[in-house]
Amino acid sequence: MTQAAPTTIPMLVFRAGELQLGIVAAAVVRVSTISELDPEATDCAHVATLLKLPSGDAQADRRMMVITCAGRTARLIVEGPIRLTRIGAPDLLPLGRGLRLPALVGFAQQHDQLVLLLHIALLAQLAEHHEAVKNLPRLAELHQ
Amino acid sequence: MSDSSQENAHLAALQEAVSQAARAQAAGDVLRPATDSYLAVRAGPRWLALPATAIREVVLKGSLTRIPLSPPHVLGVAVIRGRVVPVISLEGTLGVADLSELVPTLPRLVVVETAAAEIAVVVDEVRGITELPLTSLVDESTGGARPEWVAAELTWNKRLLCVVDVQRLVQATMEDELRS
């Protein structure tokens, strides 16, 4: 018996400042609340920093998201509220000719709002790189 | 050359052109210099001429959505007739303006297209279609540095008008997107 292709894909939609960003739900391992004192959170990059986007204010509802893709696991800070939604072909917007989007796989429109669908492999790579750079001084200390 | 002698030279040239036209008309040969249509727009302090054949439409600037890892001259994307189109600031490509100041006040998007891509250019003012005689597209620039997408600079209505090479503009924009 053949299985029909899914008509919609579950996505987690979160915020970075004014923007709504979407990520394939299957790539998300864990989402947790964070506090300023959380040592794990201090090493994590904000998704807005990774993608060179404006982030929300300090009062924003921040969470830590752990994502995995192609054997890479990375942590990043996102802004809530986070919602689970399903995105299907009718939600996707056609791209203008020649539009190149290095960090996106496309755009969806839901409830009159544009959702930027993130390229999960690139995001994981950026987050991993950020964390590695941040940990370099600690590694240097260990070698001394 | 002094101002008055320059004016006299211009007047003499104009007089010659008028009498030449009159002679041609009298001979039944109406002078119709070859022209090209351009859309005259203002972006910041600059006046620009965009080839009319490359223009898809002019729309009011609605809300823009920023996109990740884009160079500073890409202000974001706009949804125009259901399609996602990148929005470009010409001032930004020149690196002369504080874009955070410019963005909220700019009211029009001129959508231009080539075989390779389409982009929306932010402008402050649209003056309408103007016919520029091909002979007038002689570069009057004084030799200063200018972006590669400016094909020529000429005087139009006592202003400096930059004639835009849309192919090069799109190419430069796309190259920058790739580099980012």
ipTM rounded to 2 decimals: 0.82
A40 within some domain? yes
Contact B163, B36 (CB under 8 A): no
Q: Does the residue A2 lie in any domain?
A: no
B135, with CB counted inside 10 A (0-12, 13-18, 19+), is: exposed
User: Which pLDDT score, from 0 to 100, does residue B44 have?
Assistant: 83
Tell me if A4 is assigned to some domain: no
Residue of B nearest to A90 (CA): B82
Residue B63's pLDDT band (cuts 50, 70, 90): confident
What value does the mean pLDDT take over residues B21-29? 62
Whether residues A94 and B84 touch (CB distance < 8 A) is answered with yes
Distance, in Å, from the CA atom of A80 to the CA atom of A77, rounded to the nearest integer, reads 10
User: By mean pLDDT, which of B17-21, B27-31, B58-62, B82-86 is the weakest?
Assistant: B27-31
Do B68 and A51 count as a contact with CB atoms less than 8 A apart?
A: yes
Query: Do B18 and B101 lie in a common domain?
Result: no
Is the confidence at residue A99, as pLDDT, over 60? yes
Instruction: Please tell me the total count of domains within chain B.
Output: 2
B166 touches chain A (CB under 8 A): no
Are residues B16 and B41 located together in one domain of the fold? no
Selecting from B66, B118, B178 the residue whose C-beta is nearest the C-beta of A100 gives: B178
Digit-coded pLDDT (tens) for B118-156: 999 999 889 889 888 766 555 555 556 778 888 888 888
Quickly tell me which residue has 């979407």 as its tokens.
A22
- Answer yes or no: do A109 and B79 touch at CB < 8 A: yes
Instruction: Report the C-alpha dihedral over residues A72, A75, A79, A85, rounded to 10 degrees.
Output: 40
B176 touches chain A (CB under 8 A): no
pLDDT of B178 above 50: no
What is the band of B25 on the pLDDT scale with cuts at 50, 70, 90?
Answer: low
For residue A46, is it within any domain? yes
Q: Say yes or no: B3 and B90 in one domain.
A: no
pLDDT in tens, A12-58: 999 998 899 999 999 999 998 887 666 667 778 899 999 999 877 77
Residues B116 and B153 in one domain: yes
The mean per-residue pLDDT over the stretch B46-69 comes to 90
Q: What is the pLDDT of residues A103-122, one digit of tens each?
A: 999 999 988 889 999 999 99
If asked whether residues B159 and B81 sit together in one domain, one would say yes
The Cα of B110 is separated from the nearest Cα of chain A by a number of Å equal to 14
Q: d(Cα A125, Cα A102) in Å, to the nearest integer?
A: 13
* Interface residue A90 vs chain B (CB under 8 A): no
**Domain membership of residue A132 as a residue range:** 9-85+103-143
- pLDDT at position B95 is 59
Average pLDDT value over all residues in chain A = 86
Chain B residues within 8 A of A51 when measuring between CB atoms: 68-69
**Residue A71 within a domain:** yes
pLDDT score for B171: 87
Q: How far is A137 from chain B (nearest CA, A)?
A: 26
Please determine, for residue A80, whether its predicted confidence score (pLDDT) is greater than 70.
yes
| B57, B44: one domain | yes
Residues B47-52 have a mean pLDDT of 92
Q: Would A66 be classed as within a structural domain?
A: yes
- Identify the pLDDT of residue B156: 83
Q: What is the CATH number of the domain that holds B93?
A: 2.40.50.180
pLDDT value of residue B159: 84
pTM for this predicted structure: 0.77
Share of chain B above pLDDT 70, in %: 71
Chain B partners within 8 Å of A55 (Cβ) = none
Q: Which of A94, A99, A109 sits opposite B86 (nearest CB)?
A: A99
Total CB pairs under 8 A between chain A and B: 67
How many Cα atoms within 13 Å fall on the side-chain side of residue A69?
A: 20
Tell me, yes or no, if A137 comes closer than 8 A to chain B by beta carbon: no
| Claim to verify: residue B25 and residue B98 sit in the same structural domain | no
What percent of chain A is predicted at pLDDT more than 90?
Answer: 49
Domain identity same for B4 and B71: no
* B108 shares a domain with B51: yes
Q: How many domains does chain A have?
A: 1
Q: Which helix (H) or strand (E) holds B125?
A: strand B125-133
* B88 and B2 co-located in one domain: no
DSSP letter for each residue of B27-78: TT------EEEEEEEEETTEEEEEEGGGEEEEEE----B--TT--TTEEEEE
Q: CB of B109 within 8 A of CB of B90?
A: no
Quick check: is A97 in a domain? no
Q: State what percent of residues in chain B have pLDDT above 90.
A: 28
Query: Contacts of residue B180 in chain A, CB cutoff 8 Å?
Result: 102
Q: Which range of residues forms the domain containing residue B5? A: 1-32
Determine the residue among A97, A115, A117 to mutate to test chain B binding: the one whose Cβ has the most chain B Cβ atoms within 10 Å.
A97
Residue type, B25: Q
Shared domain for B24 and B84, answered yes or no, is no
Over residues B69-80, the mean pLDDT reads: 90
Residue at A98 is within a domain: no
Residues B10 and B58 in one domain: no
In chain A, residues with a C-beta closer than 8 Å to the C-beta of B116 are 97-98
Looking at residue B152, its pLDDT comes to 85
